[in-house]
Amino acid sequence: MYTFLSPKTLEDARGFLKSYPNLKIIAGGTDLIIGLREGLFAPDAVMDIKQIPELAQIKQTDEGLEIGAAVTVSELLCSGHLSGAYNALKEAGLELANSLLRNRATLAGNICNASPGGDMLSASLVLDAWVETVTPEGGRKISLSDFFTGPKKHVLKPDEMVIKTVYPKHQGKSAYRKKKRIRGHDLAQVGVSGLLKGDGVLTLAFGACGPTPVLIGGFNTKTQSRAEILDAAMNGISPIGDVRASKEHRQEMARYLTEAVLDALEEVRK
Amino acid sequence: MKAINLTVNGEAHKVFCPENITLLTLLREYLHLTGAKVGCAAGECGACTVIYNGKPVNSCMVLAMEAEGAVVETIEGEAKDGKVSPLQQAFIDNHALQCGFCTPGMIMSARALLDENPKPSRDDIIHAMEGNLCRCTGYEPIITAIEQAAGGVR
């Protein structure tokens, strides 16, 4: 049995991070509660971060779009902030689970759960997002390109907590496309995100195509053909077969969805 | 054991319960409101749907301790003065249930939709009901029932 903690301030939360070494954080809880029930972990304390006011905020700042760690996917989708270059994040949010779960699930929770197929992850990677964390003694910024280390694994320390995710401003377009087994609620067999900037620089990211979400950048649509881009991208992913799809199906779908993303971004010539 | 204060169907409750139970367990085992059903208990099926601070959620995906101060509506609050609501009547009229296990969750998702958007399109209904699974009806009668309820007065 764990102790349930509900700090009202970030300072109190930092104190709990120090005093309970075996602590789990609950934001939306849509992954955590299943893990608790199945005995995947047995924390001494579960800390609810939803009572900390600053973690519930969405803000446009000089740095970009800041999304607090307690903001749900539904709140984010309804916020009106996901226009322009942030479109991939909106398309990924609409694909995440179903409307009931989106009313609880949080962006930060999806990132910290670190599933290789998590819908928000590839979209966040192409948008060059980072997370800001706190620990009892300090905190840091971590680029998402350095965040994921394996399936459901990341670089956070046991006493470290994500407080916000930040998306820098971009000039350009982005898109997310997902393949799943059924039309309704399902995890991704493959998810592909793309960001095309005004200068022709293209970044792609792939979900469920490797042990972590895979970011492949540095394409240039002004100098490379679509076939060159596709071939290079497919060489950068390493999907496996599992309950949701075979390796071969994932490879096919990754190529197909990448084409769909490039179509959505329009300006990539065939 | 810890005390939790919440309002369910307009009635304030103070419940002493363990810290590791879900809102669904609190409703069913501590308040004896067994309308919300235990289906998958993993956020997949929607049989446990309740309206939580105005939004439909899976009550199996909320810890009871998170619900301090929450306002919860369950299927038990839908009928008033012993009479089923127009939404419930529309489910009956359209044969929108067979075994009935999913129905409390279906009604609560539909109730939340109609409270927020009294005149939803068919697509709005399909979108709002995507988290509620039914193995009997094939969904069409459910969608039709909600359309009918949206055309009437609650």
Q: What is the pLDDT of residues B17-35, one digit of tens each?
A: 999 999 999 999 999 999 9
Per-residue confidence (pLDDT) for residue B80, from 0 to 100: 95
CATH topology of domain B86-151: DNA polymerase; domain 1 (1.10.150)
Contacts of B49 in chain A (CB under 8 A): 100
Beta pairing class for B49-52 and B71-73 = antiparallel
Question: For A1, which residue in chain B has the nearest alpha carbon?
Answer: B20
Q: Distance between CA B67 and CA B52 in Å, rounded? A: 9
Contact B143, B87 (CB under 8 A): no
For the segment A131-151, the average pLDDT, to the nearest whole number, is 98
- Supply the DSSP symbol for A72: B
CB contact (8 A) between residue B19 and residue A3: yes
Look at residue A157 and tell me whether its pLDDT is greater than 60. yes
Q: Distance between CA A42 and CA A22 in Å, rounded? A: 8
Q: How confident is the model at residue A176 (pLDDT cuts 50, 70, 90)?
A: very high
Of A132, A139, A138, A204, the C-alpha closest to A168 is A132
For residue A192, what are the β-bridge partners? Answer: A177, A206
Q: Distance between CA A2 and CA A23 in Å, rounded? A: 9
Contacts of A1 in chain B (CB under 8 A): 18-20
For the segment A98-110, the average pLDDT, to the nearest whole number, is 97
Per-residue confidence (pLDDT) for residue A185, from 0 to 100: 80
Q: How confident is the model at residue A182 (pLDDT cuts 50, 70, 90)?
A: confident
Contact A105, B59 (CB under 8 A): no
Per-residue confidence (pLDDT) for residue B153, from 0 to 100: 45
Per-residue confidence (pLDDT) for residue A266, from 0 to 100: 81
Look over chain B and give the mean of its residue pLDDT values, rounded to a whole number.
96
Look at residue A117 and tell me whether its pLDDT is greater than 60. yes
Look at residue A231 and tell me whether its pLDDT is greater than 60. yes
Query: Per CATH, the architecture of B2-76 is what?
Result: Roll (3.10)
Per-residue confidence (pLDDT) for residue B113, from 0 to 100: 98
State the span(s) of chain B assigned CATH 1.10.150.120.
86-151
- Supply the DSSP symbol for A170: -
Per-residue confidence (pLDDT) for residue A269, from 0 to 100: 59
Q: How confident is the model at residue A189 (pLDDT cuts 50, 70, 90)?
A: very high
Contact B131, B109 (CB under 8 A): yes
State the span(s) of chain B assigned CATH 3.10.20.30.
2-76
Q: Distance between CA A245 and CA A179 in Å, rounded? A: 10
ipTM of the complex: 0.95
- The CA–CA distances, whole Å, from A183 to A67, B122, B127 equal 29, 16, 11
Contact A122, A191 (CB under 8 A): yes
CB contact (8 A) between residue A100 and residue B49: yes
pLDDT tens digits, B104-135: 999 999 999 999 999 999 999 999 999 999 99
Per-residue confidence (pLDDT) for residue A184, from 0 to 100: 72
Q: How wide is the angle at C-alpha B50 spanned by C-alphas B45 and B52, nearest 5°?
A: 125
Of A191, A200, A190, the C-alpha closest to A229 is A200
Question: Of B18, B61, B109, which is closest to A101 when you measure between CB atoms?
Answer: B61
- Supply the DSSP symbol for B65: G
Q: Distance between CA A138 and CA A191 in Å, rounded? A: 35
Q: How confident is the model at residue A121 (pLDDT cuts 50, 70, 90)?
A: very high
DSSP run (H or E) holding B91: helix B86-93
Give the position of tokens 């009806």: B137
pLDDT tens digits, A50-87: 999 999 999 999 999 999 999 999 999 999 999 999 99
Contacts of A5 in chain B (CB under 8 A): none
Give the position of tokens 């320390």: A157
Q: How confident is the model at residue A31 (pLDDT cuts 50, 70, 90)?
A: very high
Q: How confident is the model at residue A204 (pLDDT cuts 50, 70, 90)?
A: very high
CB contact (8 A) between residue A29 and residue B66: yes
For the segment A181-192, the average pLDDT, to the nearest whole number, is 87
Contacts of A97 in chain B (CB under 8 A): 43, 131
Per-residue confidence (pLDDT) for residue A183, from 0 to 100: 74
Look over chain A and give the mean of its residue pLDDT values, rounded to a whole number.
96
CB contact (8 A) between residue A30 and residue B132: no
CB contact (8 A) between residue B19 and residue A99: no
